[in-house]
Amino acid sequence: MQWITNNLPYLLAGISVGGQYALIAIGYTMVYGILRLINFAHGDIFMAAGLIMVYLSASLPFYVAIPLVLILTVLLGFAVERVAYKPLRKAPRMSVMISAIGVSYLIQNVALYITGGLSQMYPSIPWLSDTVTVLGATTKRVTIITPFLTIILIVLLVQLINRTKIGMGMRAVSKDFETSLLMGIKIDNVISVTFIIGSFLAAVGSLLFFTNYTGVTPTVGALPGIKAFVAAVFGGIGSVPGAVIGAFIIGICENIIKAVGWTVFSDAFTFALLIFILIFKPTGLFGEKTTDKV
């Protein structure tokens, strides 16, 4: 019990950041499930959401800025898909990945240009960034809110996937792209909705993340992006629940490592986990195996 109280700040931070990673991870896993594409630009969309908030909140009140951030981020995700991925749908997989890398590069450089390279201070959203006390440890309210909000959003998402028409379309496309096309499923719509949902969740994630870690730099999205991706792979790429579980595990372990004092390796841990999983169970915790026909 004493150990928990001593390390409570780390555990809470772990659960909180795990939830934020989960929101980003869902975007990766859904896009990969449908397009077999690792959307390298997803982490940068998360960062862009943070920057958009910084600039909007300078002149608009929060109840306007927050919805606007969500809308603009969604538009950005949608635009990226239409401009950079859609034209390459018939191209070999390497080409699309290179395009994703190019988009990531572009978004980072635009951010660098606009901010002049200086770290931007994320605004303090009232109520979310208030300090609260939990079991003797002080932390921001956002740390407590994050896991609950994450779970609510995920439950809603799972409902959407399982009970709506478009959700059925998403499940069909991720099982078999070509047959879905032949069966008349509107692929473009399914893909767009996937990107919209992913970007929306990333934007929510950015709201929560940057309330805690307030410095927004052009490259700030790269690391959480990769960690979220690892979470998606760990949980089984294509599986939403898997991505979420993976994200929480990464978030918690990463902070436990910091608690033990090995901060230098807290990031390397994620990569080691990635390689471990790729070697021993590439399909992840909940993934499915596919066989090639010869």
Partner 1 sequence: MIQKKKSNKANIIFILALLILIFVLEQTLPSSSMLLTVVKKSAIYALAAVSMNLLNGFTGLFSLGQAGFMLIGAYVYGMLTIPVADRAAVYQYFDGGIIQFSIVEGLSGVLGNVAGLILGVLISLIIAGAIAGLLAYLVGLPILRLRGDYLAVATLGFAEIIRAFFQWEALGPLTNGSNLLRKFTCLDDFNIVVDGKVAVYLSTTVLVLIVAACILVITLVINSTYGRAFKAIRDDETAAEAMGINLAKHKMMSFVISAFFAGVAGGLLAMYQTTAQAMPFKSAMTYEILLIVVIGGIGSVTGSCLSAFIFIGASEWWLRFLDMEKYNIPGLNILRPGFRKVVFSVVIMIIVLFFRKGIMGENELNIAGFGRWLKQIFTKKKAAVAAAEEGKNNG
CB of 115 to partner 1, least distance (A): 8
Which parts of 82-121 interact with partner 1 (CB under 8 A)?
83-84, 87-88, 91, 93-95, 97-99, 101-106, 109-110, 112-114, 116-117
CB of 127 to partner 1, least distance (A): 35
Question: Counting contacts by CB under 8 A, is residue 265 touching partner 1?
Answer: yes
Burial per residue of 173-196, b for 16 or more beta-carbon CB atoms within 10 angstroms, e otherwise: bbeebeebeeeebebeebbbbbbb
Q: Where are the alpha helices (DSSP H) in 164-283?
A: 165-175, 177-182, 187-212, 222-235, 240-260, 266-280
Burial per residue of 15-38, b for 16 or more beta-carbon CB atoms within 10 angstroms, e otherwise: bbbbbbbbbbbbbbbbbbbbbebb
Q: Which tokens hold the place of 208?
A: 């929560």
Rounded to whole angstroms, how far apart are CA atoms 132 and 7? 17
CB of 47 to partner 1, least distance (A): 14
Question: Counting contacts by CB under 8 A, is residue 182 touching partner 1?
Answer: no
Rounded to whole angstroms, how far apart are CA atoms 122 and 120? 6
Question: Counting contacts by CB under 8 A, is residue 36 touching partner 1?
Answer: yes
Q: Which stretch binds partner 1 (CB under 8 A): 6-14, 175-183, 200-208, 263-271?
A: 263-271
Q: Are 214 and 128 in contact (CB under 8 A)?
A: no
Q: In this chain, which of 161, 254, 274, 287 binds partner 1, going by CB under 8 A?
A: 274
Question: Counting contacts by CB under 8 A, is residue 144 touching partner 1?
Answer: no
Question: Counting contacts by CB under 8 A, is residue 128 touching partner 1?
Answer: no
CB of 152 to partner 1, least distance (A): 30
Q: What is the CB neighbour count within 10 angstroms for residue 134?
A: 13
Which amino acid is located at 254 in the chain?
E
Residues that bind partner 1 in the complex, under the rule CB under 8 A: 36-38, 83-84, 87-88, 91, 93-95, 97-99, 101-106, 109-110, 112-114, 116-117, 222, 226, 229-230, 233, 264-265, 267-268, 271-272, 274-275, 278-279, 282, 292, 294
